[in-house]
Amino acid sequence: MARFGMVIDTRKCVGCMDCVIACKTENDVPDGHCRDWIGQRLQGTMPDLRLTITSERCNHCDRPPCVTCCPTGASHVHDFGKVVLVDHDKCIGCKACLAACPYDARFVHPDGYADKCTFCIHRVEKGLAPACVSVCPTHSMYFGDLDDPDSEVSRLIASRRHFVLKPDAGTQPRIFYLE
Amino acid sequence: MLELVTTRHNPLVDPSLHIWGWEIPVYLFLGGWVAGCMVLSGWLMRRGRAPGQGSVAYVLPWVGIVLLSLGMGALFLDLEHKLYVWRMYLTLRPTSPMSWGGWILILVYPVMALAALAAIPRDLLSGWPSLAAFAERLRAGRSLRLLGTVSIASGIALGIYTGILLSSLGARPLWASAVLGPLFLVSGLSTGAAFAHMIARDPEEESSLLRADILFLVTELALIALFLIGHLTSGAQHAHAVALLLGGPYTAVFWVFVVGLGIVVPLVIQSLMASHRIGHTVIAPLLVMAGGLALRIVIVAAGQYSHWIVP
C-alpha cells in the first residue's frame, strides 16, 4: 500500500509561484483562496542572511489532527496513497479542522465545505504527477511513495539533509524540504 | 482586475486570522448556562424539592430548553454547509469532541423535558390522562431523585465537553490545556447559580444558591490561575500563547471584563449579600452572567489568534 509524500529541494526552488498558479488552474481554486502558497524564511543577522523559499500546502500528515477532530468523518485518510481528503457531501462546515491544523492549510470553500490540497489525487490515479510538481520550471519538486525505499522521494530523503515544517506539532508531516 | 493571491497575507486564506465569529462563543456560553441549570435543578431535586412548592428546580429545565434551543440556533448559523447538518447524526466519532457534543445536545433535551413535565400543574394536564399519569409517576420521590441524578450527570457532560472541544484542537496553543474543560464547566455552574438565585422566590433556596455561586466563583478564579500557570510553565509555544492574556492584545479585556467585572466584583457583592450586610441585588448575578459570556468571547478569540510559532 503506497504512502504518498513530497520532497522539495529548497536549493532549486526560486519562488516563482508557478506551483500556486498551476494548482489554481488545475483545481479551479476559488478567487482569493490558495491550496498552496510560497513561504519565505529569513535567517541570520545582517549581513549574513540566508533566505529559504518553501512551497507549502497540506502536509498529508501521518497523524492528521484534522481527521481525528472531524465530527462526521468528512475528513478522512484515503485508501490510495494515505492521502488526507475531504468528502464534500459529508462536510457540515463546522471548521474544527481549520482550527486543528497547525499549518493553516485549510479554508472554507465558498460552496460551504472545508477545502485544501488533495495531492491532485485525480491526476495521480491516472499515473500523472500533481499539477504543482509537473509545472515546476526548476524541477525542484518530487512526488512518490515514501514506503518504497527505491522511490525517488525515499532516496532523496535518505541521502540529503532535510527538514519538515513544525515537527514539534507532532503530526508527522509528509512534505520534506531538502537543505 | 483580479489580483491572484499567492502568499498567505489574506484573511480568506489564513484561517488563523478568523475561524469562528460571535456564534461559537454565544453557543458555548448558552451551553454552559444550560449545564449549570441542569446540575442545580438536579441537585435541588435530590434534596427533596418537589414540584408545586415554588422551587426554582422546576423553572430551570424550562429555561434550559429555551436557552439550549437558542444556542443550537447560533451553532447552526455558524455552519458553512448548513444543509448537510444531518450528517452529524449518521455517525458517532469517538476521537471528535464535536461529535460527542452533537449527541450530548440531543440527549439532554429529553432529560430537561422530563423535569419540565414534572413541573406542569396537574389541572393543566387534565385533558391528557396518560400524560398526567406519567407526570404523576415522575413526581414520586424515587423518580425525582433518579431524574435529579441523571440531570446532574448530563449537565456535567454538557458543561465539560465545551471546554474539551477547544482543548482538543492542539494547533491553537492557548486552548491546549486540560484545565479548559473544568473551567468552562465551573463557569457554566456559576452562570446557572447566579441566574437561579436571581429568580428564586424561596428565601432558603435563594440563600443556598447564592452560597453555591460564591463557591463556584472562587473555584473559577483558582482554575483561571491554574490555566495561566500551566501555560507559563510549559514550553515556548504555550508561554507565547498565554502572553496574549498577560501583556498582549487580549490583556485588558480579559482582566477587566472576565476576572474583574465578571468574577471579583460580583464575588465581593455576593459575599456581602450572603453575610446580610447588603440586600439582594440583581447587579451581581447579571455581572456573573456577563462575565461568563466574556470568558467565552476572550478564550475563543485569543485561542484562534494563538498559533504554532515558526518553524
Q: What is the DSSP string of B131-181?
A: HHHHHHHHHSHHHHHHHHHHHHHHHHHHHHHHHHHHHT-TTSTTT--TTHH
Closest of B128, B161, B134, B148 to residue B50, by C-alpha: B148
- Inter-chain touch B170–A33, beta carbons under 8 Å: no
pLDDT of residue B2: 46
Residue B120 has pLDDT above 90, yes or no: no
Classify residue B10: in a domain, yes or no. Answer: no
Which of A36, A98, A176 should one mutate to test binding to chain B, selecting the residue with the greatest count of B CBs within 10 A? A98
Is residue B119 one of the residues assigned to a domain? yes
- Specify the length of chain A in residues: 179
Report strand pairing: A175-178 vs A4-9. parallel
| Predicted local distance difference test score (pLDDT) of residue A22 | 95
Reduced to 3 states (helix: H, G, I; strand: E, B; else coil), residue A44 is strand
Q: What is the ipTM of this complex?
A: 0.89
B6 contact residues in A (CB cutoff 8 A)? 17, 20-21, 34, 37-38
- How far, in Å, CA of A179 to CA of A78, rounded? 30
Q: Strand pairing of A162-163 and A84-86? A: unpaired
In contact, B20 and B300? CB cutoff 8 Å: yes
Q: Is the pLDDT of residue B1 over 50?
A: no
Q: What is the CA radius of gyration of chain B?
A: 21
Q: Which domain CATH number covers B210?
A: 1.20.1630.10
Helices B141-167 + B23-46 axis angle, to 10: 150
Is residue B214 one of the residues assigned to a domain? yes
Query: Which of A24, A99, A108 faces B304 most closely, judged by CB atoms?
Result: A99
Q: Is A24's CB within 8 Å of B4's CB?
A: yes
Q: Which of B248, B302, B169, B85 minimizes the C-alpha distance to A104?
A: B169
pLDDT at B68 over 80: yes
The confidence score (pLDDT) of residue A40 equals: 83
Q: Do B311 and A39 touch (CB under 8 A)?
A: no
The pLDDT value recorded for residue B127 is 84
Higher pLDDT, B219 or B17: B219
| Domains held by chain B: number | 1
Task: List pLDDT tens digits, range B39-56.
Answer: 999 999 998 887 877 889
Alpha helices in B8-59 (DSSP H): 23-46
pLDDT for the residue B111: 94
Within an 8 Å CB–CB cutoff, is residue A138 touching chain B? no
Per-residue pLDDT tens for A76-134? 999 999 999 999 999 999 999 999 999 989 999 999 999 999 999 999 999 999 999 99
Q: Which residues of chain B are at the A interface, by a Cβ-Cβ cutoff of 8 Å?
A: 2, 4-8, 10, 12-16, 19-20, 78-82, 84-85, 87-88, 90-91, 93, 95-99, 101-102, 165, 168-172, 237, 304, 307-308, 310-311
In chain B, which residues have their Cβ closer than 8 Å to the Cβ of A95? 15, 19-20, 78, 80
SS3 state at A37:
strand
User: What is the sign, positive or negative, of the torsion defined by CA atoms of B176, B181, B187, B191?
Assistant: positive
Determine, for residues B20 and A95 on separate chains, whether the beta-carbon distance falls below 8 Å.
Answer: yes
Q: Could you report the per-residue pLDDT of A35-70, keeping only the tens digit for each?
A: 999 988 888 888 998 889 999 999 999 999 999 999
Domain that holds residue B56: 16-305
The answer to whether residues B147 and B114 touch, using CB atoms and an 8 Å cutoff, is yes
| Per-domain residue ranges of chain A | 4-166
Whether A72 has its CB under 8 Å from any CB of chain B: the answer is yes
Fold category of A4-166 in CATH: Alpha-Beta Plaits (3.30.70)
Which of helix, strand or coil describes residue A176? strand
B224 occurs within a structural domain: yes
What are the C-alpha distances in Å from A91 to residues A7, A34, A163, B24, B86? Answer: 30, 19, 32, 18, 10
